[in-house]
Homo-oligomer: A and B are copies of this chain.
Amino acid sequence: MSYLRTDIIDTNVRISLPAVCFVWQIAMIILFGVFIRYNYESDTHWVEYMAQQNITSNIENDFYYRYPSFQDVHVMIFVGFGFLMTFLKRYSFGAVGFNFLVAAFGIQWALLMQGWFHSLDYTDGKIKIGIENLINADFCVAGCLIAYGAVLGKVSPVQLLVMTLFGVTLYAVEEFIILSVLHACDAGGSMVIHTFGAYYGLAISWVLYRPNLDQSKRLIGSVYHSDVFAMIGTLFLWMFWPSFNSAIAYHGDGQHRAAINTYLSLASCVLTTVAISSVTQKKGKLDMVHIQNATLAGGVAVGTAAEFLLTCYGSLIVGFCCGIISTFGYLVLTPFMEKSLKIQDTCGIHNLHAIPGFLGGVVGAITAAAATPSAYGEEGLIETFDFTGNFKNRSPNIQGGYQAAGLCVALVFGIGGGILVGLILKLPIWGDPADDACFDDEAYWEVRPE
């Protein structure tokens, strides 16, 4: 009986997975053909542009300001997220492989969706892309990969692709509302990426609740080597997070400060994670789950405020608190949510992204509201919060309110979008694994017997 079901599922994916990949990729080609062009910095007319604008050096091309950060972010998306999820004893192919698939599709769709909202050239109706668009596409996909963490091992690759299609779409809209309409700042995406992504994933997981998931209990948890693999993911995320939070910050002091604040918050976070992990175990032994995950919460929580004058000790305090909260989350909240709220969260994204992301939004709102011209300098204040054009007369106080409003938007889009998409994913056509085939690479991969 069980065999039969598996058989049907396999057949489904054999048709649906290639079909979705092919059709969507062809759609991407057509849409790119109609809409996407190089921008003035990546086009061969750059040399003429330089002459017109009296730019004397190629080094002023945004490529040189942002490409190193882009590559760091790229590593976070593909190696960081991918390997972080390899901790399960028998789902490493799915972790790193589906992460790869989903991200590769997502960045294309994100270039389009974000392009329509942010990079549309109204003179010719084309989206003009450069290095900053690539970074933003990676960011957008990060939201969907966070959501993947909640449903890891329980969904089919087709479901993941559907989740990504809708996730990127929702992301682009909430991002537009938060950054452009509300004119909130969120360089490292505490709200836009982490809060949205985490609640999106948790809501989906809630809708897809599996009461009999303990049928695959034998496959939950790690083995020695899989924990070491996961540390590759942890470390690349941890090390490159300063690049993540500074990648699209303003040139000059903005990028510089964002990197410093993130570096400090993350360092602080490691110590409190270790402290809580040790003190809560009977024999004081550390738990790899905490070290792999909660150490990263400090990076999430300075995502919004990293480019502000958060101060160096302020960054340390944020990391300090997040290490504690996130580790307690793994100890207390994850089991509670599974039992009482029917939310099964494989990777504990609630503790690593949802809470720290929410806190990051709050920290950002407070830091913005507390900004003063004396601290920032007149010009510095205008530049940091982009108080120009329509927003020329906005005060830091008011900005704090808009930051808080942005956080609510992220929450609403995450939860609301997640429930809707969860319902779509509940349709019995996506080839998801049976309860006893969850967390098992055999469901979707050729696994050679040892």
Q: A63-B259, A131-B256, A235-B78 are in contact. Are A448 and B380 (CB under 8 A)?
A: no
Q: Closest CB of chain B to A281's CB: distance in Å?
A: 7
A43–B261 Cα distance when bound, in Å, is: 12
Instruction: Choose one: B10, B37, B57, B380; the contact of A285 (CB below 8 Å).
Output: B10
Question: Hey, which chain B residues are within 8 Å of A232, CB to CB?
Answer: 79, 83, 232
Query: In the complex, which residues 43-73 of chain A have their Cβ closer than 8 Å to any Cβ of chain B?
Result: 43-48, 50, 57-65, 67-69, 71-72
Question: Hey, which chain B residues are within 8 Å of A291, CB to CB?
Answer: 97, 100
Q: Whose C-beta in chain B lies nearest to the C-beta of A253? A: B46
A281–B324 Cα distance when bound, in Å, is: 47
Q: Which of A143-151, A170-178, A219-227 contacts B (4 or more CB under 8 A)?
A: A219-227
Does A33 have its Cβ within 8 Å of any Cβ on chain B? yes
Size bracket, chain A contacts: 35 or more
Are B71 and A379 in touch, CB under 8 angstroms?
no
Does A320 have its Cβ within 8 Å of any Cβ on chain B? yes
Q: Whose C-beta in chain B lies nearest to the C-beta of A240? A: B71
Does A301 have its Cβ within 8 Å of any Cβ on chain B? no
Are A377 and B47 in touch, CB under 8 angstroms?
yes
Instruction: Choose one: B59, B260, B450; the contact of A130 (CB below 8 Å).
Output: B260
Q: Closest CB of chain B to A267's CB: distance in Å?
A: 4
Interface string of A197-228 (1 = CB under 8 A from B): 00000000000000000000000011111011
Does A336 have its Cβ within 8 Å of any Cβ on chain B? no
Does A420 have its Cβ within 8 Å of any Cβ on chain B? no
Q: A18-B275, A71-B68 are in contact. Are A313 and B32 (CB under 8 A)?
A: yes
Q: A104-B270, A260-B134 are in contact. Are A286 and B46 (CB under 8 A)?
A: no
A105–B267 Cα distance when bound, in Å, is: 7
Q: Closest CB of chain B to A25's CB: distance in Å?
A: 4
Q: Which of A184-192, A338-346, A361-369, A439-447 contacts B (4 or more CB under 8 A)?
A: A439-447
Are B286 and A97 in touch, CB under 8 angstroms?
yes
Describe A's contact surface by its main secondary structure: helix
A360–B42 Cα distance when bound, in Å, is: 21
Are B446 and A287 in touch, CB under 8 angstroms?
yes
Are B229 and A228 in touch, CB under 8 angstroms?
yes
Does A75 have its Cβ within 8 Å of any Cβ on chain B? yes
A108–B75 Cα distance when bound, in Å, is: 25
Instruction: Choose one: B57, B79, B93, B101; the contact of A270 (CB below 8 Å).
Output: B101
Does A383 have its Cβ within 8 Å of any Cβ on chain B? yes
Q: Closest CB of chain B to A271's CB: distance in Å?
A: 4
Question: Hey, which chain B residues are within 8 Å of A83, CB to CB?
Answer: 232
Are B21 and A274 in touch, CB under 8 angstroms?
yes
Identify 23 residue pairs between A and B in the complex whose beta-carbon atoms are under 8 Å apart, listed by A's number. Answer: A7-B283, A11-B283, A17-B274, A17-B279, A18-B284, A25-B316, A29-B313, A29-B317, A42-B260, A45-B377, A46-B256, A59-B251, A63-B255, A63-B256, A68-B71, A71-B72, A79-B232, A79-B239, A100-B238, A105-B270, A108-B267, A285-B445, A286-B444
**9 new A-B contacts at CB < 8 Å, known A43-B309, A68-B68, A100-B238:** A25-B271, A47-B377, A57-B59, A71-B242, A82-B235, A130-B256, A225-B225, A285-B445, A288-B446
